[in-house]
Amino acid sequence: MSDALAARPGTDLTGKVALVTGGTRGIGLATVRALAEAGATVVLTGRDETGAKEAAASVGGTVSGQALDVTDAKAVSTLVRGVAKEHGQLDIVVANAGVMEDALLGMIREELVDRMLTTNVAGTIHTVQAAARAMMRKKTGAIVVLASIVGEHGSAGQVAYAASKAAVGNVARSASKELGRYGIRVNAVAPGVIETSMTAHLSEEILAGRVEDTSLRRLGTAEEVAKVIRFLVSDEASFVTGQILGVDGGLVL
């Protein structure tokens, strides 16, 4: 396990059961590692079973992988219920599965809009809804969804993606208001520009520009986002809900 993800005593998650959607790479996989490092039993999902099982095996410990298409509400409900039943509880859900595609106004195909909204928004809602049902009986739980700094401030060339991530942030805000009385906390993280496969397509010029716009003068890492997610699902954040926490190095768009 990497030192970058070493857990602080206050974020001990021993005995907790966690589900991370889109956990096969990038921020999702780093989150799986961070939660497992803190002692949680983690189920990660990916679009195909082989990839999910390989990702789980790469972390080791009490991590397992399952296939899941988050746009399929029934499949999400079945998987979440299955995890809760198999492990006797479900304490943590990180709704991370998402897609990012760029297109300037005038060049946004209908299908691109559908993909952004179906996966990022509907997929997140399905996941949060299923998680809430699984957590309500025990009147405790922590959910984190993946928003984005572009959802908060907008970004040229990302109208559809930014709109979808703005919606995701408001899933957290609204769900937190419904679920607070059940002891379930719902928060979002809003990463800035993070070095993952989702930003690998950006040109060096664009990335250099983003670094210039970032107070810390560098890109973030998936591990840095994962540690904030781990904080939010831990007891260290026991009085934090309905927040969209920027993990952006001070990026100004």
Partner 1 sequence: MAEIAGKLREVFVEALDLDADVEVENLKYREIEAWDSVGHMALVAAIEDEFDVQFDTDQVIDMSSFKVAADMIKELQSNGV
Query: Catalytic residues, which ones?
Result: 161
Who's near 104: CB < 8 A, 6+ residues apart? 156, 157
Q: CB-wise, 112 or 136, nearer to partner 1? A: 136
Q: Helix 123-135 to helix 159-179 angle, to the nearest 10 degrees?
A: 20
Which two tokens mark 142? 């922590």
Task: Report, in Å, the least distance between residue 57 CB and partner 1.
Answer: 29
Smallest gap, in angstroms, from Cβ of residue 136 to partner 1?
A: 4
- Chain residues that interact with partner 1, rule: CB under 8 A: 73-74, 77-78, 81, 132-134, 136-137, 178-179, 181-182
DSSP string, 176-192: HHHHGGGTEEEEEEEE-
Give the nearest distance from C-beta 72 to partner 1 in angstroms.
12
Residue in the structure block whose two tokens are 């309905």: 242
Measured between alpha carbons, how far is 127 from 56 in angstroms, rounded to an integer? Answer: 20
- Smaller CB separation from partner 1, 38 or 175: 175
Give 35 or 143: the residue with its C-beta nearer to partner 1: 143
Closest distance between partner 1 and the C-beta of residue 134, in Å? 7
Sequence-distant (≥ 6) Cβ neighbours of residue 176 within 8 angstroms = 185, 186, 187, 241, 242
| Closer of 178 and 235 to partner 1 (Cβ) | 178
Query: Do 176 and 242 contact (CB within 8 A), yes or no?
Result: yes
CB 55 within 8 A of CB 25: yes
